[in-house]
């Protein structure tokens, strides 16, 4: 017989706090990347499914993470706002964002944007703030 456990708020917060230690054991901070292929993120997504953006002015960014806290009843770890600035030619399209370990060998999370983001000379910047949460699905 299998049993689905329900994460309590205190338990989920403790799991996020342990994730901070886990992050350090992986050799450093988690890193945010943009992906440029039109791929729909699913539970089985792996790093090889995503094509990292390569536009002029792009680099992966390591945000500053706040200590885990309960925000609106949800255990959350909030990252600083990060920005990418396009310095290339006419346009460049990105479809989503993903989070890896510092070595860029382990995909931790990924998300599609609600609509593709088209960077242009007139609109060269994209900013995001990522919230890492621990919510029970049951």
Q: Could you tell me the maximum CA-CA distance found in the chain, to the nearest angstrom?
A: 59
- What's this model's pTM, rounded to 2 decimal places? 0.83
- Tell me what pLDDT residue 83 has: 96
Helix, coil or strand: residue 45: coil
- Tell me what pLDDT residue 23 has: 64
Q: Would you say residue 2 has pLDDT above 80?
A: no
DSSP for residue 68: P
Strand arrangement of the beta sheet that strand 131-133 belongs to: 69-71, 74-78, 131-133
Q: Dump pLDDT digits (tens) for 38-84.
A: 999 998 999 999 999 999 999 999 888 888 888 888 888 888 899 99
| Lowest mean pLDDT segment, chosen from 18-32, 73-87, 101-115, 116-130 | 18-32
Q: Domain map of the chain by residue range?
A: 9-133
């Amino acid at each position: 017989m299998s049993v689905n456990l329900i994460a309590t708020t205190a338990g989920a917060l403790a799991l996020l706090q342990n994730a901070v230690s886990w992050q350090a054991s992986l050799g450093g901070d988690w890193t945010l990347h943009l992906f440029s292929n039109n791929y729909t993120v699913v539970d089985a997504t792996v790093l090889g499914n995503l094509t990292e953006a390569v536009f002029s002015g792009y680099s992966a960014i390591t945000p500053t993470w706040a200590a885990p806290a309960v925000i609106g009843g949800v255990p959350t770890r909030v990252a600083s706002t990060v920005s990418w600035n396009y310095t290339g030619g006419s346009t460049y399209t990105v479809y989503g964002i993903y989070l890896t370990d510092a070595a860029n060998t382990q995909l931790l999370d990924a998300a599609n944007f609600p609509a593709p983001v088209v960077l242009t000379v007139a609109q060269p910047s994209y900013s995001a703030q990522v919230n890492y949460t621990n919510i029970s699905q049951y």
